[in-house]
Amino acid sequence: MVKLSVIVPFYNVRQYASDALKSLRANAREDFEFILVDDCSRDETPDMLARAERELPGAVYVRHEKNGGLATARNTGIDTARGEYLTFLDGDDWLAPGYYPRLLAAIEELGCDFVRTDHVQCTGRARTIRRVPHGRRGEVMDPRQAILPAERTTSVDYPYAWAGVYHRRLVDRGLLHFTDGLRTAEDRPWIWRLHREAESFAVVGLLGVFYRRGVAGSLTQIGDVRQLDFIRAFDQVIEETAADPEAGRLLPKAVRTYCAIIAHHLSEIDKFEPTVARQLRAMSAAAIKRMPQELLTDVLDTMDLNRSSRLRRLRRRVPAAKAAS
């Protein structure tokens, strides 16, 4: 029986894939499987993965004939997985030796739906520990109680799918799949759904995932139209949270986060191609129009002056931006 399935999407990461694959080998166990999903790479990544399927214990290689993006690649891995537990790794990141056996032991001991972990952020040679923004460790809790307060950073603001492990019952309940086709922010509707609908979770102070930032070619570094999928992602967060029985409590957090993300992208608008920058302004203005307006006013009244001023200016543009909605 497969105990743990590790889902690893790859896309044009030839220079980093060897680090990920080597770290998987240092985490191999006879009851683990490693699902290597190539999202139609155009470099030497497919050759590396085909070789890994032969040489890495437990490796299963799946190749997309068409590029679908990270969400779609992860869904392929979920559909292929046979494990009692599932976790994720990105093809340009890597692991500490023996990390997955410790992670598996943590969730088995706690017996909850999912466990979230800290990670190490790597930018060049700099290393920074990033912690789950939740103070209680090693204690099983209701995930819904970790969404609020609205004005503080909480567990839904720590969306990294690879920073945790998940019981198969979440797949069976339809909670672990990602929104197909999202190119960025695919983990935002996903983490909100987990925290609204799963029954139990815990946070553990376990380090072992090394997250590589500043990778050339990654969507966080490229200002093209795929970045604008964050709007579709957060529209989904708002829509699904508005349908929740506790929408009155939870929506202020969703609206505030959406506003903060829009303000962040507007502050970096110079990195976008000119046509994409115009789309960003128009689509953001239309998104603001779609938000619950009374809640939006409350959020803007409590945000810092720099961000609230930027968003208020955008709000006044709304009538001219309706065509972009």
What residue ranges do the domains of the chain occupy?
4-213, 225-324
Model confidence band, residue 289 (pLDDT cutoffs 50, 70, 90): very high
The dihedral built from the CA positions of residue 156, 70, 260 and 244, taken in this order, carries a sign that is: negative
**Region 139-158 average pLDDT:** 97
For residues 121 and 150, give the distance between their C-alpha atoms in angstroms, rounded to a whole number: 25
Q: What pLDDT does residue 93 have? A: 98
Structure tokens at 182: 């999202």
Res. 220: pLDDT tops 60:
no
Structure tokens at 269: 């608008």
pTM of this prediction? 0.93
Q: What pLDDT does residue 218 have? A: 53
CA 76 to chain centre: 16
Q: What b/e readout covers 254-264, taking b as 16+ CB neighbours within 10 angstroms? A: bbbbbbbbbbe
Model confidence band, residue 214 (pLDDT cutoffs 50, 70, 90): confident
Res. 320: pLDDT tops 90:
no
For residues 3 and 34, give the distance between their C-alpha atoms in angstroms, rounded to a whole number: 11
For residues 100 and 106, give the distance between their C-alpha atoms in angstroms, rounded to a whole number: 10
Q: Where are the alpha helices (DSSP H) in the chain?
A: 14-25, 45-55, 70-80, 99-110, 169-172, 187-197, 229-242, 247-267, 274-290, 293-302, 305-316, 318-321
Q: What pLDDT does residue 219 have? A: 52
Please tell me the class of the 4-213 domain. alpha beta
Model confidence band, residue 323 (pLDDT cutoffs 50, 70, 90): very low
